[in-house]
Structures are given as structure tokens and as C-alpha cells.
Amino acid sequence: MSHTVGFLYPGYSAEDDYPTMERLLAAAGRPVRLPVVHTLMREDAHRVDALLDIGGDDVLGEGARSLRSLGVDAAVWACTSGSFVFGWDGATAQVDGVRAAADVPASSTSFAFVNAVRHLGVSRVAVAATYPRDVAERFVGFLSAASIEVVSLSCKGIITAAEVGTLGRDDVLEFVAANDHPGAEAVLVPDTALHTVAWLEDLEQRLGKPVLTANQVSVWEGLRLVGDTAPRPGLGALFA
């Protein structure tokens, strides 16, 4: 049986990663539907106050009700910074609100990263963040709450999701590779505004270790919520 996992995605930047992932999953022999509902982004800024607004209950509640009308089997708030910026307890409450409004199991990209790291059995990671440092440090704090050690943090300092979405394959590969660390068992790339899913195998071949990206882990988390944990080739160590 094919499942439908719905995603709440703020604004417009790398939302085409989801139809790309649909095609890759179908090619791996396990098709799923991955509809995206765009949520309100009053201001496109990787800044704490703007991120708190992006992930507000009113915004997510409206989006989650739209997913419910689509008949999804699970819902994921596909925004890393708009979830971890609330802290562990706040992000938990945020997911609870999405679950209630969509009436299906729910999660967010921040929790997806935690669950993906645990699934791979690693505990020391490098973080290659497109965000400004003050925002990225909140992601480090979120991971620390889950007993995940960040051995290095690098920040590209990009303010808007729109700009992040313009980065191409070579830019992404160079940025991630340049910010690996020999003590890291995996590299985390926490921005759903960044295109990555078409290059997952390229990233891991370049680094020689698992690379977890925001849109990748969001889809994996949604499939986990519906109990679909079948291996899929070509989508990195997480899906293998």
C-alpha cells in the first residue's frame, strides 16, 4: 500500500526537493505521495524573531488543517530553524499542535535529525549550517539535549531562505565537504531551503561518511511515522 506523507513548508525555496524525492523513491521501487502545503512566511529571515513567527501555532494550525483535507497519513513540519528555535519543549508542543490539527502522526525536521542520527547509531557529528551563527548555535543546543555531540559547527551566514535556495550542486558539495571534521561520524546540513536530495549519493561519496540533509531526513521521518522503514538504494546511508 502506498502512503501519503504531507509536509508543511514555509514559503518557497527548495520545495521541489519533495517531488524529486517522490521520483527517487518510485525509482527505488517503493512509491509514496509527498504533497506540500506552503505555510505563511511573513518575513524571510534566518533571525530568531522571524523564525518564531514562521513556526507559530496559527501558521502551522492552518497548514495542518489543509494537510488533513488532503487525507495524509502523517504530517511533518519541514523547517529545521522554525522548530529548533523553540527549544526542545517548545518544538515538542509545536508537533503536538500539528498532530492535533492534522489528526495524524506528526513530527518536524529538527526531531527528524535526532531520530536519523540515532537510527545510524552515531553520536558525534559536524554541522554545516547555512544560517547565521546565533541561529545555528540553537541547533547545537537542540542536538545537545538529545545527547548528540557536535564536534564542529560551521555557518555560511545566509539570512534568507530565498538565497539559500539558489545554491547549486557544486556550491552544496563544496560547502559540505569544506566543513566536515575528522572526529565526526556524520555531517548534518540543517536547512530545508537548501536543495540536496538529488545529490545525496554525491555528498556521501565526496565525504566518505553519512550526510544527513534537512529535506532528506524530513521525508525519512514521515515514512518512519507511517511504519514504512523499507531500505531504499540511492538515497544515502539513512535510507539504505
Our CA dihedral for 214, 21, 228, 191, rounded to 10 degrees, sits at 10
Over residues 77-90, mean pLDDT: 97
Over residues 86-109, mean pLDDT: 98
d(CA 115, CA 231): 16
Residue 122 clears pLDDT 70, i.e. is over it: yes
Under the banding of pLDDT at 50, 70 and 90, the label for residue 30 is confident
pLDDT at 1: 63
**Burial class (CB within 10 angstroms; exposed 0-12, middle 13-18, buried 19+) of 100:** exposed
Please tell me whether the overall predicted TM-score, pTM, comes out greater than 0.95 for this model: yes
pLDDT, tens digit, 9 for 90 and up, residues 162-187: 999 999 999 999 999 999 999 999 99
pLDDT, tens digit, 9 for 90 and up, residues 33-54: 999 999 999 998 899 999 999 9
Structural domains of the chain sorted by starting position, each given as residue range(s) with its CATH number in brackets: 5-225 (3.40.50.12500)
Residue 89 clears pLDDT 90, i.e. is over it: yes
User: Cell 521520483 identifies what position?
Assistant: 23
Q: Can you name the residues that pair with 5 across neighbouring β-strands?
A: 74
Over residues 94-99, mean pLDDT: 98
pLDDT at 135: 95
Under the banding of pLDDT at 50, 70 and 90, the label for residue 2 is confident
pLDDT at 29: 82
Alpha carbon of 28 to those of 32, 121, 230, 239, 240: distances in Å? 11, 24, 10, 10, 11
Neighbours of 187 (CB within 10 A): 24
How much is the CA Rg of the chain, to the nearest whole Å?
A: 16
**Residue 235, CA atoms < 13 Å, CB-side half-sphere:** 28
Give the percent of the chain with pLDDT over 90.
94
Calculate ∠ Cα 26-114-60, nearest 5°: 75
